[in-house]
Structure formats: structure tokens, C-alpha cells
Amino acid sequence: MIQTEYAFTLPIGYQDDEGTLHREGVMRLATAADEILPLKDPRVQSNQAYLVIILLSRVVTRLGSVPQVNPKVIEGLYAADLAYLQELYNRINLYGKSSVPAACPRCGHEFEVELDSLGG
């Protein structure tokens, strides 16, 4: 069975208007529509950098107790959290999973290697 949702914890967290910090969330796999439809959005047409805001607001399905994740919520993230979500998006949508099987060349012990730990 394919995994379509991935839990995450933001490095800093989203602080809402009441001062509540939200760090735990869920991101789902993107569909073709998630990548195509935002291109029609006037905010994206006038500023291509806004594409990531619209795209993440479509695929982040939960963020703490925030009632609805929308572009305003994504705009309110700290840069470190935005970068984290972009990396997670790329990892799960380009690679399809967050870890890969590996084996020790000496003893043959099998284990999983997290993709985000590769290269630094």
C-alpha cells in the first residue's frame, strides 16, 4: 500500500494570532492538480515565488490545531519552517518515500537510511 501522508514537526513552529505555537502537522502527496492549478492563480502569475505558498497550502493538511491551512498560514511561517516544508515536499514527491533500504557490506545487516540525513 502506498503511503500518502507524512507527519512532520516544524523546526520553529507557526504562531497564530492568539500566540499558540503549532509544530506538528501532516503533509500529503501532491497530485498533478496541486502542481498545475496554482499556475492559474493571479498571485503566482504576478510573482512566481508565490507558487510555493499556494502549493504548500494545498498539501499541508494539518498544522497543530489550526482550523484550516491556507496561504495566509503558510505566509506566516518562519523562513526555516518554510524551507523545511519545501524540502519535505521534494523528498516525498520526488523520491516517494523518506527512507531507503540499505545493507552493511561486511555483515549484510539490513536497515533503513533516512533520505534527509544524506549529505549533511
Q: Record the pTM.
A: 0.78
Q: What is the pLDDT of residues 73-102, one digit of tens each?
A: 999 999 999 999 999 999 999 875 556 567
Domain ranges of the chain: 5-117
* Angle between the N-to-C axes of helices 79-94 and 51-59, in degrees from 0 to 180, rounded to the nearest 10: 70
Residue 115: the pLDDT is: 52
DSSP for 78-114 reads: -HHHHHHHHHHHHHHHHSSSSEEEEE-TTT--EEEEE
For residue range 53-62, what is the model confidence (pLDDT) as tens digits? 999 999 999 9
Contacts of 38 (CB under 8 A, 6+ apart): 44, 51, 54, 55, 58
Predicted local confidence at residue 102, as pLDDT: 74
Rounded to whole angstroms, the Cα distance separating 102 from 3 reads 20
What local confidence, expressed as pLDDT, does residue 99 receive? 61
